[in-house]
Structure 1
């Protein structure tokens, strides 16, 4: 895979240096290769594939072409191995260093595009949604960790580097998914270069909530499952009640807690988001409670 200027390699001494912070601020994202080692990746994969755990909360939403994207979304990290991952220094701690202050867990999710059938995500900003949740500032970010190879053929992440600097863009809200103003997106494309973020399992991309991103459909024979955790700065507590948490102190753990965790499928306290039982299905701002 080609090397990118904002690409770094994880090791036991990894920390956010001034160079890494500068790249994140400039491009709106960084890639960290090998964030999870082979053993950690095997444990996480076993946990998320288990029919006794997160898969019980799985549901599907369709893209505009009626192709499904399956997902599981939860608000609190919990004490299982996926919780250890979301609370770890190399995920949550790195997010704090990139954001420049304390963060809390806003939510985590699995996004699952099955081979041949998986749908696409339209161009959007995460803050296109989160702004309407009462988060006043774009002091938020997401960590995207594939458990399968993510390549162009199976609908990898697509990013417009530096697009976070254009601020929040108006989004068109449907019954399920939002899409950024395509006229504005096309204009921004003329000033930057689209990057297909191809990744190996266990790599990670840390990206700002205002970065424009999308992903194509999965027309390949390769499954594409991804684990994501979103974080909000403690100083950006939402001003209205919605389907994700207000500020909740995050109890970070050392990186070896992932490998040491023996609890793979305990979903206690995670507070899952499911259609019909909460406000996950986004409505236009004027229709929000």
Structure 2
């Protein structure tokens, strides 16, 4: 049974228990990593940041349902940039991975009511491996901006599946994702967990953790912010659509509350996902 953690006094102390849980289960859940005042700023940033919406990319599932994805390579200096760089987020990833990290990329995944598509079982490292990252010293943080539950397509994870190593990814059973026969075998050993979250909650998960999500069948939107981090020591050996090591300028935890930049997107390096040549032979990685 997984343990959830709470942030205290606007700080997050990464304990040995948390490190052990991350190593054993492949993830930890931190409740209320971002408080209501920060979420108000985040939602305003998403709504007013016009450049975000210019780079929206639609991902179809096998049934034709679509989810929206917006991806950028560098954190920037807007509210979401402060969030991706703050100690309680980036600093926690650094401690969980055991070394200096840099911002590998961030994205929004938006599942609109009744239409937001499902996602096949996959590991993030299933794709990042192809970007020249030799070791799975990488992770993602799924941060709920809207409520996330079974009805709107919350993440489902196979607890401890990261310890099986990277599973082959490609076209399996009519879908792109992890080898479904291997996934079905792992289900016999790794408990299936539905990760339901309130706004501001965060799921810190290892890049080899197998995960999936269902369609949003609810009447509400499901917006999530997902920054990803790579260890400096795992600097990719080839160029790809995501950056090689770029020093991360970490900021204090109050940086989100103090940031009033909702529209300045300079230097974020948005990706034109529909036209990226380096993605032609890879799976589109929606959540």
**TM-score scaled by structure 2?**
0.94
Q: Which residue pairs with 1:111 in the alignment?
A: 109
- Say if 2:82 is the partner of 1:78: no
Q: Which residue pairs with 1:206 in the alignment?
A: 204
What does residue range 177-216 of structure 1 map to in structure 2 within 5 Å?
Answer: 178-216=176-214
Greater than 6 Å deviation, 4+ residue runs = none
Instruction: Find 1:62's aligned residue among 49, 53, 60.
Output: 60
The change in CA–CA distance for 1:19 and 1:51 in structure 2 (over 3 A counts) is closer
**Cα distance between partner residues in 2 of 1:46 and 1:255:** 19
The change in CA–CA distance for 1:165 and 1:222 in structure 2 (over 3 A counts) is same
Quote how far apart the aligned CAs of 1:19 are. 0.6
What does residue range 135-214 of structure 1 map to in structure 2 within 5 Å?
Answer: 135-173=133-171, 178-214=176-212
**Cα distance between partner residues in 2 of 1:182 and 1:282:** 22
Please give the secondary structure, in 2, of the residue aligned with 1:200: coil
The change in CA–CA distance for 1:90 and 1:54 in structure 2 (over 3 A counts) is same
**Cα distance between partner residues in 2 of 1:268 and 1:51:** 11
- Say if 2:215 is the partner of 1:225: no
Q: Which residue pairs with 1:273 in the alignment?
A: 271
* CA deviation vs aligned residue, 1:195-244 (integer Å, no higher than 9, x gap): 00000000000000000000000111121010000000000000111000
Contact 2:56 2:68 in 1 (8 A): yes
Give the gaps of 5 or more residues in structure 2.
none
**TM-score scaled by structure 1?**
0.93
Please give the secondary structure, in 2, of the residue aligned with 1:195: strand
Quote how far apart the aligned CAs of 1:284 are. 5.3
Paired residues, number: 280
Q: Which residue pairs with 2:4 in the alignment?
A: 7
CA RMSD of aligned residues (A): 1.5
